[in-house]
C-alpha cells in the first residue's frame, strides 16, 4: 500500500534496513541513550529487569509510574497463538506436556513475580493488567490519559514480521477438541509461569484497567 511505502522510506529505515528496526520498533538501547525522562508513555518488549533498572528510577520518588501488562482472556489461546507465531504445531499426543508447552512458549522472561514486590512502593509504582484483544478499548482508555497530538495524520504501519507471518487456522488446532487437555495446559501455565499466573489473578479485578464493575 502507499502508506507502507511511505513508512519504509523514512530516515529510520535508511539507517536500519532490517525488519526489526523502524519507527515502530526502535532499539531499546537507543531509547535509553536518548533518555526516557520526558516520556509520558514507554512501550518496549524487553525482559522484566528493564522496568526495575531503567523505568522505576525515572523521576525518583516524585513521579508515580504505572506498568500495564497485556493479558489475553484465554491463556490457552494465547499459547496457541505463540505456537503459530513460531510456526510450530502443538503436539496434543505428547507424553511430556510441560516440555511441549516450553517448546512453543515465547519470551517467558518479560514478566517476573519480583515486579509484584515493587507494588509495596504504591506511592510511586503500581501494576495493572488489560485484555489487548481487541485493542480499541485500551486505546480509548489511554486517550483520556495522554496528551493528544496537535496535528493528526494517517498512521502508516510497518509490519516487522510480515515475511514470516503464518495465518492461524484455529479449527485445525488439536487442543480445542480436548477439554481435559485444555484444563491441564491452563493449570501448568498458571503454576509454572509467573506471567500467566499474574494474568489469571488480575483480569476482572480492580487492577484490570478495562474492568467495569
Output the pLDDT for position 8: 52
Per-residue pLDDT averaged across 128-137, rounded? 95
HEC string of the chain? CHHHHHHHCCHHHHHCCCCCCECCECCHHHHHHHCCCCCCCCCCCCCCHHHHHHHCCCCCCCCCEEEEEECCCCHHHHHHHHHHHCCCCCCCCCCCHHHHHHHHCCCHHHCCCHHHHHHHCCCCEEEEEECCCCCHHHHHHHHCCCCCCCCCCCCCCCCCCCCCCCCCCHHHCHHHHCHHHHHHHHHHHHHHCHHHHHHHHHCCCCCECCCCC
Angle between helices 179-192 and 97-104 (to 10 degrees): 70
Output the pLDDT for position 145: 92
Prediction pTM value = 0.83
Residue predicted with more confidence, 56 or 86? 86
Burial of 109 (0-12, 13-18, 19+ CB in 10 A): exposed
**pLDDT tier, 130 (very low <50, low <70, confident <90, very high otherwise):** very high
pLDDT greater than 60 at residue 22: no
Mean of per-residue pLDDT scores for the chain: 85
Per-residue pLDDT averaged across 181-209, rounded? 97
pLDDT greater than 90 at residue 173: yes
C-alpha–C-alpha distance, residues 139 and 209, integer Å: 11
In this predicted structure, which of 4-13, 20-29, 128-137 has the lowest mean pLDDT? 4-13
Alpha-carbon torsion 208, 70, 170, 173, what sign?
Answer: negative
C-alpha–C-alpha distance, residues 24 and 8, integer Å: 11
C-alpha–C-alpha distance, residues 148 and 202, integer Å: 29
pLDDT greater than 50 at residue 3: no
Output the pLDDT for position 87: 92
Rg (CA), the chain: 19
Amino acid at each position: 500500500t502507499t502508506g507502507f511505502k511511505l513508512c519504509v522510506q523514512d530516515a529510520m529505515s535508511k539507517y536500519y534496513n532490517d525488519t526489526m528496526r523502524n519507527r515502530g520498533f526502535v532499539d531499546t538501547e537507543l531509547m535509553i541513550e536518548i533518555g526516557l525522562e520526558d516520556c509520558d508513555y514507554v512501550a518496549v518488549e524487553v525482559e522484566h529487569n528493564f522496568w526495575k533498572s531503567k523505568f522505576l528510577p525515572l523521576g525518583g520518588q516524585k513521579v508515580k509510574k504505572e506498568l500495564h501488562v497485556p493479558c489475553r482472556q484465554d491463556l490457552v489461546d494465547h499459547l496457541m497463538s505463540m505456537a503459530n507465531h513460531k510456526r510450530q504445531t502443538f503436539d496434543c499426543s505428547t507424553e511430556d506436556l510441560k516440555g511441549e508447552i516450553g517448546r512453543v512458549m515465547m519470551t517467558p522472561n518479560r514478566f517476573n513475580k519480583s515486579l509484584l514486590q515493587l507494588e509495596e512502593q504504591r506511592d510511586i509504582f503500581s501494576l495493572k493488567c488489560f485484555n489487548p484483544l481487541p485493542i480499541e478499548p485500551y486505546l480509548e482508555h489511554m486517550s483520556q490519559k495522554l496528551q493528544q497530538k496537535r496535528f493528526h495524520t494517517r498512521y502508516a504501519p510497518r509490519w516487522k514480521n510480515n515475511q514470516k507471518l503464518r495465518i492461524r487456522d484455529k479449527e485445525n488446532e488439536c487442543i480445542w477438541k480436548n477439554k481435559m487437555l485444555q484444563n491441564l495446559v491452563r493449570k501448568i501455565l498458571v503454576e509454572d509461569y509467573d506471567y500467566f499466573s499474574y494474568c489469571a489473578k488480575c483480569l476482572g479485578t480492580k487492577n484490570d484497567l478495562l474492568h467495569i464493575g
